[in-house]
Amino acid sequence: MNNFQYKNPTKILFGKDQIENLSTEIPENAKVLMLFGGGSIKKNGVYEQVSKALAKFEVIEFGGIPANPEYEVLMEALDIIKAENITFLLAVGGGSVIDGTKFLAAAALYEGNEPWDILVKNIRTFKGMPFGTVLTLPATGSEMNSGAVITRAETKEKFAMGGPGLFPVFSILDPQVIKSIPQRQIANGLADSFTHVLEQYMTYPANAPLQDRFAESILQTIIEVAPAILKDASDYNAASNFMWSCTMALNGLIQQGVPSDWAVHAMGHELTALFGIDHARTLAIIAESHYTYNLESKKDKLAQYAERVWNVTEGTTEEKAIAGIKNTTEFFHSLGIKTTLSEYTEDYKGTAQIISKRFEERGWKGLGEHGKLTPADVEKIVEMSY
């Protein structure tokens, strides 16, 4: 096992009607900027619950943060934070609203001239403005981690950012919010969280059986809960297990002491930036070709995954590994998610070259758990996913 230091300061308030507790979690006398997305919270009762809980605070609202949070929109919110002397940010939404809020928490205290540099120069944030979240869509784990991904539509770019100053102070997880989520977004949440676990697990054996079993148990729970939550989003038991699995998939716990990959996400972000494909679906497009292309270096873990998660008992290590990949693709299909790029766009030819050129221009060091994947490898993997 590798050395590690682990600190996750986010307080979780999980369960029915926890939104009421907002009033005691936000510091007294705070001037709050409440951030939300395109309006789902106004249709499902979340807005009313939050407004009621915030009654004793001075609150300014900023709605309209789009899916794949957009830099230009966030810069409008940054002006409000400065002009109104906001002291606390409250994100009410899914990963996009929470990530947008993290960008604002960083940008509000950033001393440079151009907040875009935080993204493009990958500047880590050690101190951000304090913020809390009310999660409305389980998927990203953003409610309990310190990362964010921000898009700039103008240049078709999507960059990650983060740092220890960007953990939420608290996050409220009420599984009852899931009942209004459209099927497509529930499927996205299942596929995204599943892939988060794979990115931190599908590497090479690192003598970390506890981390392996944490990861496998999250995968098994997501597989078990998927049909129930897709059938009935108001099934509270399914909703609560789905929600907590998504948080646990990316709150830092399972990656301690083990190598991680994240190449599927790196390539997937480019597909969102270029074609606007939902984040989770880009991962389903890349996963099979990435694992197939890297079969040799990943086959031990792929075989272990096939055995323990999919109960594959027959065959050599390599045959089991291939069965693990096949089961993964079938799982995405069972969620109604298509797994090749040409099923999402007719304009797919040349994508592999565009992405590998972008990586080269950005001076990317190698991708993957060994840091050895070159832009040329990326080109082949993306091509295999057409």
Task: Provide the binding-site residues for Zn ion, judged by CB under 5 A.
Answer: 192
Residue 37 touches which of Zn ion, ligand NZQ, none (Cβ within 5-8 Å per kind): ligand NZQ
Report which of 359, 364, 205, 382 is spatially closest to residue 297, judged by C-alpha positions: 205
Residue 101 touches which of ligand NZQ, Zn ion, none (Cβ within 5-8 Å per kind): none
Query: Looking at beta carbons only, is 30 or 118 nearer to ligand NZQ?
Result: 118
Helix axes 263-275, 183-201, angle to 10 degrees: 150
Sole binder of ligand NZQ in the list 119, 139, 226, 258 (CB under 6 A) = 139
Residue 95 touches which of Zn ion, ligand NZQ, none (Cβ within 5-8 Å per kind): ligand NZQ
44 forms part of the interface with ligand NZQ (CB under 6 A): yes
For residue 158, give the DSSP letter. Answer: E
Q: Which residue's CB atom is positioned nearest to Zn ion?
A: 192
> Which segment (2-10, 80-88, 132-140, 288-296) binds ligand NZQ by CB under 6 A?
132-140
118 forms part of the interface with ligand NZQ (CB under 6 A): no
Question: Taken in order 313, 317, 322, 325, is the CA torsion positive or negative?
Answer: positive
Q: Say how far apart CA 285 and CA 292 lie, in whole Å.
A: 13
104 forms part of the interface with ligand NZQ (CB under 6 A): no
> Which segment (80-88, 146-154, 236-244, 320-328) binds ligand NZQ by CB under 6 A?
146-154
| Helices (H), ranges, 148-235 | 183-201, 209-231
Shortest distance in whole angstroms from residue 184 CB to ligand NZQ: 9
Report which of 69, 34, 92 is spatially closest to residue 149, judged by C-alpha positions: 69
Query: Footprint of ligand NZQ on residues 283-302 (CB under 6 A)?
Result: none
Tell me the C-alpha to C-alpha distance, in Å, between residue 304 and each of 141, 259, 264, 316, 332.
Answer: 25, 16, 20, 11, 20
Shortest distance in whole angstroms from residue 124 CB to ligand NZQ: 15
Are the C-beta atoms of 116 and 122 separated by less than 8 Å? no
Report which of 193, 196, 22 is spatially closest to residue 92, judged by C-alpha positions: 22
> Which segment (14-22, 51-59, 94-102, 291-299) binds ligand NZQ by CB under 6 A?
94-102
Residues 6+ apart with CB under 8 A from 215: 197, 200, 201, 254
| Number of chain positions touching ligand NZQ (CB under 6 A) | 33
Query: Looking at beta carbons only, is 179 or 326 nearer to ligand NZQ?
Result: 179
Are the C-beta atoms of 82 and 108 separated by less than 8 Å? yes
Residues that bind ligand NZQ (CB under 6 A): 37-41, 44, 67-68, 93-97, 99, 136-137, 139-142, 145, 147-149, 177, 180-181, 185, 188, 192, 250, 265, 279
